Amino acid sequence: MAALDLRGAEVEPDLLPFALNRLMAGWNARLAARLEARGIGFPQWRVLMVSARAAQPYTIVELSERTLVPHSTLSRQVAAMERAGLVRRVPAEDDARAVRVVLTPRGRARYREALPLALEEAEAGLAALSPKEAAELRRLLARITGALGLRLE
């Protein structure tokens, strides 16, 4: 696609990334409200979800990349979660400067408590699509992700 030349354009271009951002902000707000009712903050949910699904504990930097939360913000979040007994920080064996974030049994229980809410919200949005359309959406999102050189896990 060629660069856009908007000189003299009568119609504003369709900014699909902005529409997708608004969609996800609204979808996340719905989940956040349900989580908050259970005393689980949305930032806490992100750390719980990513950590619970990881093959091995992530460093703060790796968690930051996967949760899309800035490093400094995430460090404060992890510290609060450690005080609450949801995670613990352990030295990284492969890097003396880093720590890995490990879910505690209480953190895993919190994840299991929140997961059904997240799944219900995901289903609420995807219910508008047929199974074939949902599969196509996933395929297209993977294609866009690859084209942008992103990694979404």
Residue 118 pLDDT greater than 70, yes or no: yes
Distance CA 71, CA 75 (A): 6
**141 inside domain:** yes
CATH number of 133's domain: 1.10.10.10
Strands of 87-92's sheet in order across: 58-59, 95-103, 87-92
Provide the domain limits for residue 116: 38-146
Span 5-45, pLDDT tens digits: 666 666 667 788 999 999 999 999 999 999 999 999 999 99
The verdict on residue 130 lying in a domain is: yes
Within a domain: 59? yes
**pLDDT for position 94:** 86
Position 30 scores a pLDDT of 96
When divided into structural domains, the chain yields a total of 1
- Confidence at residue 95, expressed as pLDDT on a 0 to 100 scale: 84
Tens digit of each residue's pLDDT (9 = 90 or more) over 49-85: 999 999 999 999 999 999 989 999 999 999 999 999 9
Average pLDDT, the chain: 91
Tell me the CA distances in angstroms from 143 to 41, 64, 90, one per residue in order: 31, 23, 36
pTM for the model: 0.82
